[in-house]
Amino acid sequence: MRQHGTRSRYSIGCRCQPCRKAAADSYQRWKAARDLPYRRLYWPIVNLFDAAGTTEYLALAERTGISARTLHRAAHRGLPDRSADRAATTLGIHPSLIWPDWFDPYLKEQAA
């Protein structure tokens, strides 16, 4: 059986204080890793429409492999960094050719 005071013991039902603390600590580490700065970058979808040569959401979804629903949501806040990269490479274009300031946030982060 798994040791007390571990997240894995908590996951099988143990609710003793050491196991609850281990689970809470594990969750906090996961949450901190999820909020890394690179995940907060959003890119305007208009540039992606221009690169794909279309103005239709369904056509863009077909060409990039991103669902039309995701593209509609991205119309307001932009595409997340990873989705923007995947969409650009699916079109066969480097993201920096679609979004000219693609490297700027990373360069600023390295300089700091």
Q: Kindly report the three-state secondary structure assignment for every residue of 11-29.
A: HCCCCCHHHHHHHHHHHHH
Q: What is the CATH number of the domain that holds 49?
A: 1.10.260.40
Counting the structural domains of the chain, the total is: 2
Domain shared by 22 and 47, yes or no: no
Q: What is the pLDDT of residues 29-77, one digit of tens each?
A: 888 877 665 556 889 999 999 999 999 999 999 999 999 999 999 998 8
45/54 Cα distance (integer angstroms): 12
15/22 Cα distance (integer angstroms): 10
Determine the structural domain holding residue 16 and report its residue range.
Answer: 7-35
44/27 Cα distance (integer angstroms): 32
Q: What is the pLDDT of residues 19-29, one digit of tens each?
A: 999 999 999 98
Domain shared by 66 and 94, yes or no: yes
Q: Which residue has the higher pLDDT, 97 or 81?
A: 97
pLDDT of res. 16: 92
